[in-house]
Amino acid sequence: MNKKYFWAWIVIIAVLSFFTGEMVTFMMLFLILLTLNEINSVLQNFYEDWKKRNMF
């Protein structure tokens, strides 16, 4: 995921949680999105490395 989109989602969730008073939900969603973003980047790195090794 692009970093701009990631931070855009964080801002949207933060604004919604501020108006609804769900700060704990915001923190949980932030951690989930952060973790998924890291997993995605690791998988992309593995895929790029795999592609380089399998090309002749």
Residue-range domain boundaries for the chain? 3-54
pTM to 2 decimal places? 0.65
pLDDT band at 56, cuts 50/70/90? low
The string of pLDDT tens digits covering residues 30-49 is 889 889 889 999 999 999 99
SS3 track for the chain? CCHHHHHHHHHHHHHHHHHHCCHHHHHHHHHHHHHHHHHHHHHHHHHHHHHHHHCC
pLDDT band at 29, cuts 50/70/90? confident
Reading the block at residue 30, the tokens are 């932030």
Work out the angle between the directed axes of helices 3-20 and 23-54 (0-180°, nearest 10): 170
